[in-house]
Amino acid sequence: HLGHIRNNLLGYSVAQILRAVGHNVIKVNLVNDRGIHICKSMLAWKRYGGGETPASSGMKGDHLVGKYYVEFDRHYKAQVKELTASGMSEEEAKKRAPLMLEAQEMLRRWEARDPEVYGLWEMMNGWVYDGFDVTYKALGVDFDKVYYESQTYLLGKSLVEEGLAKGVFYRRPDNSVWIDLTGDGLDEKLLLRGDGTSVYMTQDLGTAYRRFEDNRLDDMIYVVGNEQNYHFQVLKLVLKKLGYAEWSDHITHLSYGMVELPEGKMKSREGTVVDADDLIAAMVQTAREMSAELGKLDGCTEEEADAVSAMVGLGALKYFILKVDPRKTMLFDPRESIDFNGNTGPFIQYTHARIRSVLRKAAEAGIGLEGDGDGAAADYLPEEIALVKSLTEYPAVVKAAGDSFAPSIIGAYVYELAKTFNGYYHDHSILREENPAVRRMRLRLAGQVARVIRSGMRLLGIDVPERM
């Protein structure tokens, strides 16, 4: 959904920026493919699905599995309501609802590698992976490695056993395993349930250990929403107490704010989310309609119009999300993001296309960029000097963005550069300038502005069109 889009775009852009400043970066996806939430979808499909598949329903696999996650919640809430009506407390009803007990039993069977449960899990996870791949491709996001929690939770369990042996953790009478962090100003944290099944923290211990061991990393940056701030504080502290301070201190949580819509907050289990695929399709369609209205697709072939609409729609979405400081909660307004005026992706893309058009016309008219000097610096207009200064700042801007993991710094810079150029272009002619040396200088300057816009936007994962 839309919140995950911010996660993917932010992680991808930070990786691009860190590579640009000279780091060797491994882009990693962690697939949360096990746990009680997965069992909820599986149980609901088994109970209410009637054998429905992506092929029979025409739905993307991840959409189909998500549908049954919502379906579980609907039936579960009805059961809780029934139990509370019979006099049970709400807290007790949530624990004793038959569906929840059955989902918990399914998780135990999964961890025991029950063939029936495991087979169902493999089939439904396969549907989800196929669906995710389509969405990642549409977003222009890729990964160098993929880790699956189903492959790391056992390692996490062995680390818990190690912690018990060292006296770092303790076992309660119900057989659950905990760590007491009250002395560190935190609370007590569950690491294994009484029935032996693992929790998020268990598998995150295993995943962190596996990544550092596999890759000998200097640093690891988790791009995860701010509702997990406490979780990562605990993760680092637990690893330190287990004796892994050498690398646990090199874990950074790039905590980002939630994405909200004008209508309010989204909730996966209630199905009140904006689906990523639907949003991408709507953005591309809106980009096409607005571009056509403004005459920006005039003279384009159908194929070119499709390509430009996809580029502008995705550019609008990516820029609107990445221009905001990652730590801030943001409000996403699709229509506002696609405006061709103001601080938007399409405005910057159009500026690039406009410059490329000027350079093409110069080439067609036989106006070369090579020649004698561009004139004395004293002859430069203040606006030209401002543009040249702005261009020289670009490497420092990229470094600052890398140091603070903030693509928004690049977004702000590229927007200001595009805005400054547009003001200059509005007031001063380039192709009609009569002095050949000044005309050459202005064409070269425009070319450099286009080059830096293209470079900056690529660091945000955004393509810019040659014509529009």
Q: What is the pLDDT of residues 236-264, one digit of tens each?
A: 999 999 999 999 999 999 999 988 777 65
Number of domains in the chain: 2
Classify residue 218: in a domain, yes or no.
no
In eight-state DSSP terms, residue 198 is B
In this predicted structure, what is the pLDDT of residue 417? 98
Is residue 118 within 8 A of residue 150, CB to CB? The reply is no
Classify residue 147: in a domain, yes or no.
no
Q: Is the pLDDT of residue 267 over 80?
A: no
Helix, coil or strand: residue 144: coil
Is residue 139 within 8 A of residue 133, CB to CB? The reply is no
Classify residue 166: in a domain, yes or no.
no
In this predicted structure, what is the pLDDT of residue 389? 97
Residue type present at position 58: G
HEC profile for 70-103? HHHHHHHHHHHHHHHHCCCCHHHHHHHCHHHHHH
| Residue ending a domain, choose from 120, 142, 164 | 142
Report the mean per-residue pLDDT for the chain.
91
For residue 315, what is the domain's CATH number? 1.10.730.10
In this predicted structure, what is the pLDDT of residue 372? 57
Is residue 314 within 8 A of residue 457, CB to CB? The reply is no
Quickly state the pLDDT bin for 266 (edges 50, 70, 90): very low
Mean local confidence (pLDDT), 284-290: 88
pLDDT tens string 138-158: 999 999 999 998 888 889 999
Mean local confidence (pLDDT), 317-326: 94
pLDDT tens string 27-74: 999 998 988 999 999 999 999 999 999 999 999 999 999 999 999 999
Whole-angstrom Cα distance, residue 143 to residue 151? 18
HEC profile for 224-236? EEHHHHHHHHHHH
Separation of CA 336 from chain center: 20
Whole-angstrom Cα distance, residue 225 to residue 13? 16
Helix, coil or strand: residue 223: strand
Classify residue 326: in a domain, yes or no.
yes
Q: Name the one residue in this structure whose structure tokens are 């529009």.
A: 468
Per-position b or e across 367-397, b if 16+ CB within 10 A of its CB: beeeeeebeeeeebeebbeebeebeeebeeb
Per-position b or e across 243-269, b if 16+ CB within 10 A of its CB: ebeebbeebebbbbbebeeeeeebeeb
DSSP sequence for 239-281: HHHTT-HHHHTTEEEEEEPPEEBTTB---TTTT----HHHHHH
Classify residue 49: in a domain, yes or no.
yes
Classify residue 75: in a domain, yes or no.
yes
In eight-state DSSP terms, residue 182 is G
**Residue 429 is part of which domain span?**
276-459
> What's the predicted TM-score (pTM) here?
0.88
Classify residue 256: in a domain, yes or no.
no
Q: Is the pLDDT of residue 271 over 60?
A: no
| Residue ending a domain, choose from 142, 175, 207 | 142
In this predicted structure, what is the pLDDT of residue 270? 54
